[in-house]
Structure 1
Amino acid sequence: MNTAFHLLPAAASSAANRFDLLMLTLVLLTGTVAFAVAFLIVWFSIRYRKGSRADRSHAPTTGRRIEVAWVIVPLMLFLCVYAWAAYDYLQLYRIPSNAMPVFVVAKQWMWKLEHGNGRREISELHVPVGQPVRLVMTSQDVIHSFFVPAFRIKQDVLPGRYTSIWFTPTQPGEFTLFCAEYCGTEHSVMRGRIVVMPPAEFSRWLAQGAGHPGMAARGFDLFRQFGCSGCHASGSAVHAPDLNGLLGRTVHLQDGRSLVADENYVRDSILLPKKDVAAGYEPIMPSFAGQISEEDLMAIIEFLRQTGENDAARIR
């Protein structure tokens, strides 16, 4: 039987080859330096051992050029590697505008995933090849870690806040999903799979779940059910912030700070409304902590992202 030796696992995302090249470069660089130092130690130990015939007369007392060289050259090499790694790291947080959002809730010991049209999956994620995918993740209990070796992505999933990661799959197939953070007695079985499909096939698969309300539509219903529209609607008598187009907007706070509204800001505003109070408004909003699930929070956030309350008629 013919077997092929693979130094690295399959590279199935747009970033995988970049990360592999960086890692191999770093291993080669550090390995070369380590080998050179080890070789010189052994060579000098033999060459200048006690009793050897090495000429020790006229030994130099200074060697500024050598000293400068062995400081500057390694420094420049490792600064270059640092700049390279920093650039690739920043790309993880420069999310393409056309990235498809998928919402993930981790819990002992499974992954619950939901697409924008409302289709849900358990410990399995279907995505189209060539399409950037953004994961918005939170945990229902303890710290988990979303790890797909073939995509070279790993992101901690934390209770009480949202974390995010994105990837672009480059080849169809099935790839293993792991939890890479010890999360309890059944941690080893918290596995899943990523199914990468051709775009047309994925569209057909996704449409099969269209019988359920989309996340934005469900979020709009929850927005009214929890009474949010009673204060945040344009015609409301209550003086409350306008939420249309909130995601990505700069918000000025009562304490003089400013921030860009993201998923964590919306989540905190619902569960911890006195944490970041918008400038010009009184902190009178009640907390909904313990009254709303993580899945419902994500649906409200998706509603706010897509349209805002005044555009609800366009949501389906």
Structure 2
Amino acid sequence: MGDQGTFWLPDGASTIAPEVDSLFMFVTWVSTILFVGVVLAMLYFAIRYRRKSPGDRPQPIKESKILEISWIVVPTILVLLVFNWGFKSFVKMGVAPPNAYEIRAEAWKWNWRFTYPNGTTSQDLYVPVNQPVKMKMSSQDVIHSFFVPAFRVKKDVVPNRYSQVWFEATETGNFDVFCTEYCGTAHSDMMATVKVVSQSEFNEWLESGGGATDDMPLPELGELLYEQQGCQTCHSMDGSPKVGPTWKDLYGKPNHPMADGSTVTADEDYLKEAIVEPGAKIVEGYQNVMPASYSSLSERELAALIEFMKANSQYAEDGSGS
């Protein structure tokens, strides 16, 4: 992956990027030339036709039909050129090749989940290099937007309907994914990574189900899920408040205050319920914004997340928890 790019754009890493960049630079340079021309003309006229004495009157200027026709015809030609150029690229970006590999993308506040044809899911997007990929996208809550600057693709992700975008990566490496529709408190943290790998590496990753975790110890699996499932977006591990309560020293915490005035001990039963049914008990000072999508986690995954919390809690270490 290149790091240089241009003053305006990062290095292009998709088949559509050169077309987008060419049109962008054409519009930029034409606009710059016209801007400089207008400013210079204004300065010239201000000096050439300035009033030199109180009684001085400017001489009447006869209109020029050639000039009037020029400033109508030339902008019209430029507009038609840009429209034709842009429309061709727009159509190309909207129609995926027949051999495109389809991946489903789900967005919610404030995470991404990518699902592959064999059922594998991941928070980061894995794709093979030099292979057209079609993203079929939907949102669970509000409008989000899938934007990969290096690929020059951007598409809104809308609730209750599907939208799609496609790209073909031309370089291996890691590329940033941003949400570019403001979607709430942690909008700026709603990021992911496109990991472009060789076809053989992608096949191996896909066959392993996104990485073998069957033999992984529960705390390590929990830490992995904390990253993969986007838990870090709302829950810190250093005690700092985010959209949701911090996970530091959460496991076993006594007298954990709820919004209804009650308190609970943050034991295994409470933590499991908080993940699977986040609206059942709301922590004091926080809103019910956690999606219900985590109810699809397996029992092993739930246990792993709880063990990860336990490994980072003083209440578990000193035995004061349940």
- Aligned partner of residue 26 in structure 1, secondary structure: helix
Distance 1:19 1:114, change over 3 A: same
Residue type at the aligned position of 1:133: V
Partner of 1:111: 112
Shift of 1:147: 0.9
Alignment of 1:151-190 (within 5 A): 151-190=151-190
Taking the aligned partners of 1:18 and 1:5, their CA distance within structure 2 comes to 15
Q: Is the 8 A contact 2:129 2:198 kept in 1?
A: yes
Taking the aligned partners of 1:46 and 1:200, their CA distance within structure 2 comes to 69
Q: Is the 8 A contact 2:146 2:179 kept in 1?
A: yes
Task: Establish whether residue 45 from structure 1 lines up as the match of residue 46 from structure 2.
Answer: yes
Q: Is the 8 A contact 2:5 2:12 kept in 1?
A: no
Q: How many matched pairs?
A: 209
Residue type at the aligned position of 2:152: R
- Aligned partner of residue 181 in structure 1, secondary structure: coil
Shift of 1:62: 2.8
Q: Is the 8 A contact 1:118 1:210 kept in 2?
A: no
Q: Tell me the TM-score normalized by structure 1.
A: 0.62
Task: Establish whether residue 82 from structure 1 lines up as the match of residue 83 from structure 2.
Answer: yes
Partner of 1:62: 63
Taking the aligned partners of 1:78 and 1:104, their CA distance within structure 2 comes to 36
Shift of 1:6: 3.6
Partner of 2:29: 28
Taking the aligned partners of 2:144 and 2:137, their CA distance within structure 1 comes to 10
Q: Is the 8 A contact 2:122 2:210 kept in 1?
A: no
- Aligned partner of residue 92 in structure 1, secondary structure: helix
Distance 1:210 1:182, change over 3 A: closer
Partner of 2:246: none
Distance 1:4 1:133, change over 3 A: closer
Residue type at the aligned position of 2:202: F
Residue type at the aligned position of 1:194: V
- Aligned partner of residue 68 in structure 1, secondary structure: helix
Taking the aligned partners of 2:14 and 2:106, their CA distance within structure 1 comes to 23
Taking the aligned partners of 2:27 and 2:91, their CA distance within structure 1 comes to 18
- Aligned partner of residue 50 in structure 1, secondary structure: coil
Task: Establish whether residue 15 from structure 1 lines up as the match of residue 13 from structure 2.
Answer: no
Shift of 1:61: 2.2
Taking the aligned partners of 1:186 and 1:70, their CA distance within structure 2 comes to 48
Residues 130-188 of structure 1: CA deviation (Å, up to 9, x unaligned):
00000000000111111111111111101010000000000000001111111111112
Taking the aligned partners of 2:5 and 2:200, their CA distance within structure 1 comes to 34
Q: Is the 8 A contact 1:12 1:171 kept in 2?
A: yes
- Aligned partner of residue 94 in structure 2, secondary structure: coil
Q: Is the 8 A contact 1:95 1:166 kept in 2?
A: yes
Residues 202-238 of structure 1: CA deviation (Å, up to 9, x unaligned):
1111111299xxxxxxxxxxxxxxxxxxxxxxxxxxx
Shift of 1:48: 1.1
Partner of 1:130: 130
Residue type at the aligned position of 1:65: I
Partner of 1:208: 208
Taking the aligned partners of 2:57 and 2:145, their CA distance within structure 1 comes to 60
- Aligned partner of residue 111 in structure 1, secondary structure: strand
Q: Tell me the TM-score normalized by structure 2.
A: 0.61
Q: Is the 8 A contact 2:103 2:135 kept in 1?
A: yes
Residue type at the aligned position of 1:14: T
Residues 271-305 of structure 1: CA deviation (Å, up to 9, x unaligned):
xxxxxxxxxxxxxxxxxxxxxx9xx9xxxxxxxxx
Structure 1: gaps of 5 or more residues: 212-292, 297-316
Residues 87-145 of structure 1: CA deviation (Å, up to 9, x unaligned):
111111121000000001111111011011111112x0100000000000000011111
Q: Is the 8 A contact 2:5 2:11 kept in 1?
A: no
Structure 2: gaps of 5 or more residues: 212-292, 297-322
Query: What is the root-mean-square deviation in Å for CA atoms of aligned residues?
Result: 2.5
